[in-house]
Amino acid sequence: MAAEESRETELMQKIVSLCKRRGFVFQSSEIYGGLRSAYDYGPMGVELKRNLMSEWWRFMVHSREDVVGIDASIIMHPEVWKSSGHLANFSDPLVDCKVCGERFRADKAPKLAEGADAPITLADKGRAKAAHEKLQATVPELRRDGTSLLGAKAGPAGYVCSNCGSPFLSEERRFNLMFRTTLGPVDPIGDIVGMVRAAVAEGADDKELRSRVEAAMAASSVYLRPETAQAMFVQFMNVQQSTGIKVPFGIAQMGKSFRNEVTAEHFIFRSCEFEQMECEYFCPPGEGQKYLEYWKEQRMLWWRGLGIDAENLRFRAHDADELAHYSDGCFDVEYKFPWGWDELEGIASRTDYDLKAHAAGSNKKLTYFDPEATDPATGKQGWHYVPHVVEPAAGATRGVLAVLCDAYAEEAGDADGKGARTVLRLHPRLAPIKAAILPLVKRDGMPEIARKIADQFFAAGINAKYDEQHAIGKRYARHDEVGTPYCLTVDTQTLTDDTVTIRHRDDRRQERIKVQEAVDTVQRALRG
């Protein structure tokens, strides 16, 4: 188990290292020491992420008549988050460990039954000694063995510290995940300082002070959206009326979302700023389960169509106690990441909860009239109803990590290691560079011919790269590592017969094609 774990960690480290070395993903503000859980997509990463998101848009919006797109603002009216329940409920249970100081999510901590042995492991002997001395008075049965403290028992919380295993924990506190900011040019701090002075003079205690500060801030507070979904509910009427689209139909959106995640983990898997690709599919009451099944199938088809190994994808049904109170069914699409199965996308039947909540919050009608349907309540033709919703909600940045993990491969080469390489077997449509145009040497007119070929690719709107730096073998290796599916090499023979070699990334096969066929050949592969 330990060996397997270290192999998985090593694989993640290799992927993270390739991401930096080849310009996929960098730590944000790295020269200033980096910002926790924030990432920048480099020249390769931005292409890969855009390609993935374009594929989603093509599949969800452009290739069907019943889904339309929107691009809403990130900052919405604060009442949106009150109606949606995010202000009251979008929080994680936070706990502090009294031994190592770790702050962690109670719901993600290792579970232990009350009274079970809870061994504590610290980073070094010095820390273990200090913790032992601190706890000895209250837990005399505790004994130290190297970096471990033994003899502690799990308490009634049902979990222990996710870092050191200690059962000595603070009370759980709820921590709202939304990023709060202020809208408008007036800085609320001046007003708050005055208000606090007055409250202190009145003898207000901490609880009272907190609630007054909260109230004063609420007036100017807005939030960065924690999901793209709410705009689709809020704009339901505008979209339906401006397009005349009939239920069942969907509204799709992709873009940035922000969550002040307590446990940012696994590189870009869980970060505070990320991108989502969500669709709210509105259907008549009673048809939620049918469309839940439909979207499950569609969404799995899409992930597989990106070239992800079917063995690494599965559904996980949410248990009844995991379901939100308004949901009557939810499935996660999971990917087998190096650390294990984890969520890529959630597909949920959300009933009519969202439209009803926003109708109540805004005091506006969010209904649909179908003149042809029979109203089940009256038996008459013409039915006014609040549509139900099925929501396929995928992570775009998380999707980038999944396709990187799936595409990453190391090949050993021959007995002497000759021919060993690291290769990203990305689907050609996802690959950042579709074709590398390489003059074999920087003379004899080869660079000029190669540049002309590259221009043909640019004219066709295909992201190709002219590359003359280093020996040809090194250039192939570089392009294998960024997943370029085709390398076209201009060599001596090109000078006489107008042909180039085309090298296929996955099996390194090389064949000769006519220069005039180069763009078509790559274009065909991209369509396939």
Binding site for ligand GAP (CB under 6 A): 227, 229, 259, 261, 270-271, 274, 276, 278, 343-346, 391, 393-395, 397-398
Nearer to ligand GAP, 271 or 351 (CB): 271
Tell me the residue number closest to ligand GAP, measured at CB. 395
Asked if 462 contacts 515 with a C-beta cutoff of 8 angstroms, the reply is: no
Nearer to ligand GAP, 118 or 224 (CB): 224
Asked if 188 contacts 217 with a C-beta cutoff of 8 angstroms, the reply is: yes
Nearer to ligand GAP, 322 or 455 (CB): 322
Least CB distance from residue 271 to ligand GAP, whole Å? 5
Q: Are strands 180-182 and 221-223 parallel, antiparallel or unpaired?
A: antiparallel
Least CB distance from residue 160 to ligand GAP, whole Å? 24
Nearer to ligand GAP, 342 or 491 (CB): 342
Least CB distance from residue 102 to ligand GAP, whole Å? 19
Least CB distance from residue 397 to ligand GAP, whole Å? 5
Residue indicated by tokens 């990320």:
274
Nearer to ligand GAP, 354 or 481 (CB): 354
Tally the residues of the chain.
528
Q: SS3 helix, strand, coil % of the chain, rounded to 5? A: 35, 25, 35
* Distance (Å, whole) CA 41 – CA 44: 8
CB atoms within 10 A of CB 63: 9
DSSP codes of every residue in 241-307: HHH-PPSSEEEEEEEEEE---SS-BTTTTB-SEEEEEEEEEEE-TT-HHHHHHHHHHHHHHHHHHTT
Nearer to ligand GAP, 128 or 396 (CB): 396
Asked if 192 contacts 219 with a C-beta cutoff of 8 angstroms, the reply is: no
* Distance (Å, whole) CA 467 – CA 456: 15
Nearer to ligand GAP, 118 or 279 (CB): 279
Least CB distance from residue 20 to ligand GAP, whole Å? 19
Helix (H, G, I), strand (E, B) or coil at 499: strand
Least CB distance from residue 403 to ligand GAP, whole Å? 13
Q: Which residues of 66-82 are buried (b: 16+ CB within 10 A; e: fewer)?
A: ebbbeebeeebebebbe
Nearer to ligand GAP, 388 or 434 (CB): 388
3-state secondary structure 246-263: CCCEEEEEEEEEECCCCC
CB atoms within 10 A of CB 239: 19
Least CB distance from residue 371 to ligand GAP, whole Å? 31
Least CB distance from residue 36 to ligand GAP, whole Å? 13
CB atoms within 10 A of CB 500: 26
Least CB distance from residue 298 to ligand GAP, whole Å? 16
CB atoms within 10 A of CB 496: 7
Closest CA to 438 of 403, 405, 478, 404: 478
Least CB distance from residue 162 to ligand GAP, whole Å? 17
Nearer to ligand GAP, 346 or 485 (CB): 346
CA dihedral 323, 324, 329, 331 (to 10 degrees): -60
Asked if 437 contacts 454 with a C-beta cutoff of 8 angstroms, the reply is: yes
Nearer to ligand GAP, 179 or 466 (CB): 179
